[in-house]
A = this chain, B = another copy of it.
Amino acid sequence: MSSSPTLDQLIEALCCLPGVGRKSAQRMALYLIDKNRDGAKQIADSMQTALQKVGHCELCRNFSDTPHCQICDNPKRDPSTLCVVETPSDVLAIEASGSFEGKYFVLLGKLSPIDGIGPDQLGMDVLRKRLQQENIREIILATNPTIEGEITAQFIADLAAEYAIPTSRIAHGVPVGGELEYVDSGTLSRAFSGRQTITTEES
Contacts and interface: CB of A to CB of B under 8 A. Distances in A.
Interface of A: 1-7, 9-10, 12-14, 16-19, 24, 26-34, 36-37, 39-51, 53-54, 57, 60, 62-65, 69-72, 74, 87-89, 91-92, 95
Nearest to A1: B95
A51 B44 contact: yes
B44 A47 contact: yes
Contacts of A34: 63, 88
A57 B3 CA distance: 9
Contact of A27 (B30, B69, B89): B89
Contacts of A91: 2-3
Work out how many copies of this chain go into the complex: 2
B16 A88 contact: no
A95 B1 CA distance: 6
Given A64-B3, A70-B4, A37 B51 contact: yes
Contact of A48 (B5, B44, B74): B44
A16 B36 contact: yes
B47 A43 contact: yes
Given A28-B18, A37-B51, A63 B10 contact: no
A4 B54 CA distance: 7
Nearest to A35: B18
Which of A36, A65, A74, A87: most chain B Cβ within 10 A?
A65
Given A18-B31, A92-B26, A9 B50 contact: yes
Given A10-B49, A19-B27, 17 more contacts: A2-B95, A3-B64, A4-B54, A4-B63, A4-B64, A6-B46, A6-B50, A10-B47, A16-B43, A17-B28, A17-B39, A18-B27, A26-B89, A26-B92, A32-B50, A37-B51, A40-B50
